[in-house]
Chains A and B, each alone.
Chain A
Amino acid sequence: MTNHWTDIKNANVVMVMGGNPAEAHPCGFKWVTEAKVHNKAQLIVVDPRFTRTAAVADLYVQIRPGSDIAFLSGIMKYLLENGRIQHEYVKAFTNASFIVREAYGFDDGLFSGYDEAARSYDKATWAYELGPDGFAKVDPTFQHPRCVYQLLLKHVSRYTPEVVASVTGADVAKFHQVCELVASTSVPNRTMTSLYALGWTQHSVGAQNIRSMAMIQLLLGNMGMAGGGVNALRGHSNIQGLTDLGVLSDLLPGYLTIPKESEADSARYVEARALKPLRPGQMSYWQNYGKFYVSLMKSWWGDAATKENGFAYDYLPKLDKLYDVLTVFDLMHQGKVNGYLCQGFNPLASVPNKAKVTEALSRLKFLVSIDPLATETASFWKNAGDHNPVDPSKIQTEVFRLPSTCFAEEDGSLTNSSRWLQWHHKGAAAPGDAWGDAEIIAGIFHRVKELYAKEGGKTPDPILKLTWPYQRPASPSPEELAREYNGRALADLPDPADPSKTLAKKGDQLTTFGLLRDDGTTACGCWIYCGCYTDKNLMARRDPDDPSGLGLAPGWAWAWPANRRVLYNVASCDPAGKPWDASRTLVRWTGEKWVGADVPDYKPDVPPSAGMAPFILLPEGVGRLFGADKMVDGPFPEHYEPFESPIAGNPMHKSPLARNNPAARIFKEDRAMLGTSEEFPHAATTYRLTEHFHFWTKHARIPAILQPEQFVEIGEALAKEKGIREGDKVRVRSKRGSIVAKAVVTRRIGPLQIAGKTVHTVGIPIHWGFEGLTKPGYLANTLTPYVGDANVQTPEFKAFIVNVEKV
């Protein structure tokens, strides 16, 4: 979240699209209730299904799965053409005035620079026109035909209400109502919050779905404001922590990135990421990249990381390509992966196309499952009748099960959607022989280290020289790990402004990432977490005091970065440093410095007159309406059909290249496993239900009682056509496989008219499988296509096609 859970109460309009918080986040949803009660907020829900969130909404609009960008682009057109944007904010805090290179273009669904064979873009033309001073050229009057404002206006002009209705199936009158409500927050004293989750991410255009809303919020002046923002509702209690700590194949902690194979030394690696300002006077905070990098390397390799060896740069793996989960399971499917360590992960249920995943796992020599539960993945080899029809005698994979503790059986911190690190205490002892995850990983590490010490190997140093400064090496404590990622001074740190002063003594825990150095005198395991565990554990704070009344509660837990509760909060003030809305004062300029109820997201002593814009991480300093070269699939969002679509072609484009996201990767073998709308005429989408949490709670009795048996949701019209009545068993079939489930027949998922064709949607809750206490069922993953988002490879679980028949 750019904002935080409690902040939802400050909104005047709550836009839920790409999420279903009443079901997936019922406790957080209380803040929507607060907004409705105390702010008379209007709740809008746009979703393929009439969900339990829609049940309490003021306005619900049904759209087809995978058509969000068309809907959001239609809103942008409305805002721009009706002048319902916050002009002063857009002018000062976005790149609307920036002039784009002449070579940039967009034609029939393809941006300039497309390489059909490589399915990727040369992004050189997606850039600003630079002046002789090296800075981007701007036109504050927005008149220049190639300024971002004009380009955006032109780009979204195609999304008329009629086009929106045809592509999404939305009711035109209701679409207008949404536009009007959204536009009502373009004034400085009204805000809209956007709540989204996997309903936006799990698409081949997932990242662009979210960008569309970010652009709308910039146009409305809602970024940085209390009650505004673009707010990801994370799907696990600690998934924010997972991404923060870089547990992704191309990331290092704190959103640093793993070097590419082409980056031969640390200087080049850092330089490519320490971006210089693109406008005069901008902070471009990533210029400090080297400090974060060096401190991380000192944390990991201690004295072995020296200036001479680029701070152990050679110890880091270098990427020849992306090793996202789809790539890894594809390689496994090709027999190119020997072993797989699966920690807190159930890929048989969560990596698309169960049949392919089963084959892939069957080609491993060994599989390790570290989990508190008996997951389907750990039992992939077990015949469970129709629900898992494998022949164990044909599977040679050796499976090791290492039972681990669950969150309530250990101390530690969880990072929630609000970016709060909240310390928690062990509530119960783990059953049986379960070990904590840190103990298990420590055990594996020590054995691997022993092997390297004994037998050598190609590159033993990264393992042999890894620091392991824990009192009990076999069992690092959560406190020790937390102090380590917070970071400490390795030498006395003199104040650069006054060298007679010392900012931190050797051995001190650091209080802020502002102290990090690139000379090897600081160590920090995750720069954005620096300050969470100083001389005391700030994550364990539980002071609910909220002097501002805006729900900031600065003494409750600790929020990254720097205990800041609302990101970009300086954008809540006008260019003179005065809050746009006094009743939402997060920060303000006193005439001497920035102060406020929240921690200013800015350099505290820079006056507004200096012209430093509030998006300090970006080289431009301003929010990006034009994404330049940051996304692989275009500087503006564009509607592309899901890889499996119930209609032929793309109603927006003639070019067959632009039917689906032209820059999304799909393996050849998986493309062959895509169905056609003739054979599979219905749109399908998968989702969670409030009674269950993924594939966990089916192992617990009460949730199993509350939602015991697998079902799919079918609209009344389709059910009538197929002779299906509620409670009947139906078979849902995709090109990859089929499942049998009970039918819930409902008005909440009706037919839509898409490009002149009637399209039904089938809803497929995901929670069942062949392990657990619920009635045995099929993994919904049997049906899903093996393709992901172009930018981050999140699988397209939310939009594919199926057929349905009564069993």
Chain B
Amino acid sequence: MAISNETSDVVRRSATETTSPSARKRLEVAKLIDISRCIGCKACQAACMEWNDLRDDIGLQEGTYANPPDLTDQTWTVMRFHEKELPPKGLSWLIVKDGCLHCSDPGCLRACPAPGAVVQYSNGIVDFNQDACIGCGYCQAGCPFDIPRFGRKDGKAYKCTLCSDRVAVGLEPACIKTCPTQCLSFGAKSDMLHLAGERVRELVERGYDRAAVYDPAGVSGTHVVYVMPHGDPELYGFPKDARISPTVSVWRSSFARGLGVVTMASVLVAGFFHWMKVGPVDPDGRADGKEE
């Protein structure tokens, strides 16, 4: 979904060795999701569908308020509902807007083998270019938050773009525009972290001693930042220690690439010796005349 006129802002591209364009540098942005203010109205889901022209199936009720029940190629954000007994109120209904966190160090981008299918802009937004996507699924394996989903028709990867098209022209993402309770805010990341700090202080005043900001260092921070009233990210379905899977690190490391070069070179060398020893393959020389 990346917009082509954004290319000069791209700071990183998947599976690409050439230098990224760097003439323009935009302000680093972030979306703040204050879980303590979310009323689960799903207006953000509706706005996301409207702006991005997405329409998921009219599905089934599976025993939860979450609908559609999961992210899909047509659903880039979804409200998840968790019932927990927690201090200070006892029964608590945690309502969490799920979707791409736009990591500073994106596992999807690192894992992607298709050149330019995953890009990161200078403002921090991580975007997918479906025209370059080969549908291999590595981005999903690389994502610490299990976000990318694949098109049922085209097999390509989709996720929240943080409305990169709107942000590029100075608008806020569609979900921010529609949120009625200021659960969602958008702006410079530094401002959002400042606001998050204020929200945490307000929550502590209301008895939420453990309130905390979720901006996980394991992915060098994110461009979607949460205020979690009860602090512990696992209560909200997030990893405590978010990090890119070591497999992805190995797979996309210079060691792995070196290993690939060594393997290819070995095949060439082995082939050369085979030719020296056996000679060229003669297709007509097969006894049964059939091709293998």
Q: A residues touching B (Cβ–Cβ < 8 Å)? A: 22-23, 26-27, 29-30, 33, 37, 40, 50, 52-60, 690-691, 701-711, 725-728, 741-748, 773-775
Contacts and interface: CB of A to CB of B under 8 A. Distances in A.
Given A55-B40, A702-B49, A748 B83 contact: yes
Contacts of A745: 63
What 5 A-B pairs come out closest when comparing CB atoms? A726-B63, A727-B63, A709-B61, A22-B39, A55-B93
A60 B89 contact: yes
Given A30-B180, A55-B92, 15 more contacts: A26-B43, A29-B39, A29-B181, A30-B182, A50-B93, A52-B40, A55-B95, A56-B36, A59-B89, A705-B57, A705-B68, A706-B67, A708-B58, A747-B91, A775-B61
A110 B284 CA distance: 110
A101 B182 CA distance: 54
Contacts of A704: 58
Contacts of A40: 205
B39 A710 contact: no
Interface in B42-65: 42-43, 45-46, 49-50, 55-65
Contacts of A33: 37, 181-182
A726 B81 CA distance: 14
B206 interface: yes
Contact of B67 (A30, A53, A708): A708
Given A55-B93, A707-B67, A747-B83, A727 B42 contact: no
Interface string B266-290: 0000000000000000000000000
Contacts of A726: 62-64
Contacts of B46: 702-703, 706
B63 to A, nearest CB: 3
B202 interface: yes
Contacts of B38: 55-56
Contact of A23 (B41, B59, B64): B41
Interface in B69-111: 83, 85, 89, 91-95
B64 A774 contact: no
B61 A742 contact: yes
Contacts of A50: 91, 93
B206 A58 contact: yes
Contacts of A60: 89, 91
B49 A705 contact: yes
B61 A55 contact: no
A707 B68 CA distance: 8
A472 to B, nearest CB: 36
A606 to B, nearest CB: 42
A237 to B, nearest CB: 16
A746 B60 CA distance: 18
Nearest to A746: B83
B61 to A, nearest CB: 4
B60 A744 contact: no
Nearest to B207: A58
Contact of B61 (A701, A708, A747): A708
Given A50-B91, A706-B46, A744 B39 contact: no
A706 B89 contact: no
A701 B46 CA distance: 10
Interface size class of B (residues with CB under 8 A): 35 or more
Nearest to B94: A55
B36 A52 contact: no
A8 to B, nearest CB: 12
Nearest to A53: B39
A52 B81 CA distance: 10
A724 B26 CA distance: 54
Nearest to B49: A702
Contacts of A707: 67
Contacts of B43: 26
A743 B63 contact: yes
Nearest to A59: B89
Contacts of A744: 61, 63-65
B257 to A, nearest CB: 43
Contacts of B59: 705, 708-709
Contacts of B205: 40
A775 B61 CA distance: 9
Contact of A690 (B37, B40, B56, B61): B40
A43 B41 CA distance: 18
A748 B41 contact: no
Interface string B181-203: 11000000000000000000010
B61 A711 contact: yes
5 contacts: A26-B43, A27-B180, A691-B42, A727-B62, A742-B61
Contacts of B61: 708-711, 727, 741-742, 744, 775
Nearest to A745: B63
> Looking at A26, A725, A773, which has the most chain B CB atoms within 10 Å of its CB?
A26
A53 B38 CA distance: 10
A460 B57 CA distance: 56
B63 A52 contact: no
A748 B93 contact: yes
Nearest to A22: B39
A702 to B, nearest CB: 5
Nearest to A777: B61
Contacts of B45: 706
Contacts of B94: 55
Contacts of B65: 744
B17 to A, nearest CB: 42
Contact of A30 (B68, B89, B181): B181
Contact of A705 (B40, B58, B91, B92): B58
B37 A775 contact: no
Given A701-B55, A702-B46, A54 B93 contact: yes
> Looking at B61, B181, B206, which has the most chain A CB atoms within 10 Å of its CB?
B61
B92 A52 contact: no
> Looking at B49, B60, B63, which has the most chain A CB atoms within 10 Å of its CB?
B63
Contacts of A703: 46
Contacts of B180: 26-27, 29-30
A30 B55 CA distance: 28
A132 to B, nearest CB: 58
A773 B58 contact: yes
Contacts of A29: 39, 180-181
A702 B37 CA distance: 23
B56 A705 contact: yes
Nearest to A33: B181
B1 to A, nearest CB: 20
Nearest to A724: B63
A741 to B, nearest CB: 8
> Looking at B64, B85, B93, which has the most chain A CB atoms within 10 Å of its CB?
B93
Contact of B60 (A52, A54, A709, A773): A709
Nearest to A54: B93
A520 B131 CA distance: 76
A56 B58 contact: no
Nearest to B182: A33
A413 B95 CA distance: 36
Nearest to B90: A60
Contacts of A56: 36-39, 181
A50 B40 CA distance: 13
A288 to B, nearest CB: 41
A775 B67 contact: no
A704 B58 CA distance: 6
A751 to B, nearest CB: 13
A247 B263 CA distance: 83
Nearest to B57: A705
A743 B64 CA distance: 9
A690 B58 contact: no
B54 to A, nearest CB: 9
Interface in B12-42: 36-42
A691 B68 CA distance: 12
Contacts of A706: 42, 45-46, 67
A691 B58 CA distance: 13
Contacts of A701: 55, 58
A26 B40 CA distance: 9
A324 to B, nearest CB: 34
